[in-house]
Amino acid sequence: MSRFNQDSEASRTLLRDNEFLLPVYSRYPVVMDRGEGAHMFDTSGNRYLDLMGGLGVNALGHAHPRMLAAMADQAEHMVHLSPQFTSVASVNLAERLCQLSGLASVFYSTGGSEAVEGALKLARAYGHKNFGAHKTRIVSLNGSYHGRTYGSLSVTGQAKYRDDFDPGLPGVDFVDREDFAQLEAAVTGDTCCILLEPILGEGGVYELSPTYMAHARALADRHSALLIFDEIQCGLGRTGEWFAYLASGVLPDALILGKPLGGGLPLSALVVHEDLVHTLGVAKHGSTLGGSPIACRLGLEYLSVVEDEGLLAKVADTGSYLREKLVEIANNSEIVVEARGRGLIQGIELTIPARPIVEAALAQGLMLNVVQGNVIRFLPPFLLTREQVDTTVNILAKLLQDAAKQSAAPAPATLSA
């Protein structure tokens, strides 16, 4: 565990973090200093392979030369502009997002949760304007994750995140994913939207089936409800396609994007169908910092780099290789329940808590990520190589082997005092 022996400056930073920052994150005992491609370096100079990707934000890894150049160039022109004015960067990015998604118009905000708020307001306004005050109910999935602000939290299907903060937004119906009957019972004439993550990320990496998504589309149409996809985590290339829903052939009425969209700067987007362009009218919604020229410029550069470097094909290829290796691990380990996901959003579910394994991996130079306590989630940068997959899988397989031995070993006899 020598890598945790940070120099005294780093130890002081960790102590001061404890002192001055609210303890809402269970932080790892390392102070990061810089990143380069798929690697990060801590302040003591140790190198880590980054399979966490800043929670899916750093899709191009760290310090990509084109992103740095775009950032410097845009910073010299303008960083921020009030949304009462337009910029070439924000229009160019919106046009690209519409072309790629098949939708028609964009609203920018800063973070994922804020874009979910916009989507909920869109759905409520759609209900009010077209059907009256009764059409307000929102159908969402148990186990879903949509954010931490009040509205987005209220539609997050995990009571453990909500219950300290009740009451939340009224009118939310949660159903189990892939349960057609439950969905059918929940969607009524009072439903203004069905909100789905095509791949539930924070919930433990569960893919929705194309049939389930088609069923949701049909129910939304039958009851004049909007179908909204939250692709903040799974979208923008992570599945090897621009959006996860493209594999299902089901088109949403609105799409929520975030995480990698601003190339590391805060940027999220609500992209809507042409029928919904006037649903949120003038002065009904806004975001001072949303869609800043610099974030949009980086977003545009991000999309161009993915295209120019052929990264969608690379994500598909590296993703299927990673998937193969994780399935192999799952088949050979009694403490791995299964491997899930596709492209570069994948996870393995363990029968034991994952945090100790992830901390041990960190000490060996591997940044992994835990969700739901027992799922190791992989959200690596798109430039991950097959060799780096091998490195990852070798370290992980060994750690899982050791953990399996320990959990199989008879409990040590208690020492009498």
Ligand X SMILES: *Cc1c(COP(=O)(O)O)cnc(C)c1O
Tell me which residues touch ligand X (CB under 6 A): 111-113, 116, 145-147, 197, 201-202, 230, 232-233, 258
Q: Of the two residues 145 and 302, which places its CB atom closer to ligand X in the complex? A: 145
Query: Which residue's CB comes closest to ligand X?
Result: 112
Q: Residue 148 Cβ, how far from ligand X at the closest point, in Å?
A: 6
Q: In terms of CB distance, is 153 or 404 closer to ligand X?
A: 153
Least distance CB 204 / ligand X (angstroms): 12
Sheet of strand 39-42, all strands in order from the earlier edge strand to the far edge: 32-36, 39-42, 47-50, 366-367
Closest to ligand X by CB, 155 vs 399, is 155
Q: What is the amino acid identity at position 194?
A: I
Of 31 and 232, which has the nearer Cβ to ligand X?
232
On whether the CB atoms of residues 411 and 401 are closer than 8 A, the answer is no
Q: What φ, ψ does residue 37 adopt, rounded to 5°?
A: 60, -130
Q: Which is nearer to ligand X, 50 or 202 (CB)?
A: 202
The beta strand positions in 213-327, using DSSP E, are 226-230, 254-257, 268-272
Q: Which residue lies nearer to ligand X by CB, 207 or 230?
A: 230
Shortest reach from residue 2's CB to ligand X, in Å = 33
336 or 368: whose CB is closer to ligand X?
A: 368
Alpha-carbon dihedral 349, 318, 380, 258, rounded to 10 degrees:
-100
CA distance 32 to 39: 11
Calpha distance 204→374 (Å, rounded): 9
Sequence length of the chain is 417
Min dist CB 296 to ligand X, Å, is 17
CB of 310 to ligand X, least distance (A): 26
CB 181 within 8 A of CB 145: no
Q: Which two tokens stand for residue 15?
A: 């102590």
CB of 233 to ligand X, least distance (A): 3
Q: Which is nearer to ligand X, 230 or 241 (CB)?
A: 230
Are the C-beta atoms of residues 220 and 229 closer than 8 Å to each other?
Answer: no
Please give the Cα distance from 264 to 91 (Å, whole number): 19
Residue whose CB is less far from ligand X, 117 or 301 = 117
CA angle 181, 187, 193 (to 5 degrees): 135
- Residue 81 beta carbon to ligand X: minimum distance, rounded to whole angstroms: 22
CA-nearest of 268, 237, 235 to 112 is: 268
Strands 206-207 and 105-109: unpaired
CB of 76 to ligand X, least distance (A): 28
Closest to 237 measured CA to CA, from 396, 53, 90, 83: 53
Q: How far is the CB of 203 from ligand X (least distance, A)?
A: 9
**192: amino acid identity, one letter:** C
Pairing of the two strands 226-230 and 206-207: unpaired
* Cα–Cα distance for residue pair 30/417, rounded to 1 Å: 37
CB of 356 to ligand X, least distance (A): 24
Give yes or no for a contact between 203 and 177, defined as CB atoms under 8 angstroms apart.
no
> For residues 369 and 374, which CB has a smaller minimum distance to ligand X in the complex?
369
CB atoms within 10 A of CB 195: 28
User: Scanning the structure block, which residue is given the tokens 């621009």?
Assistant: 242
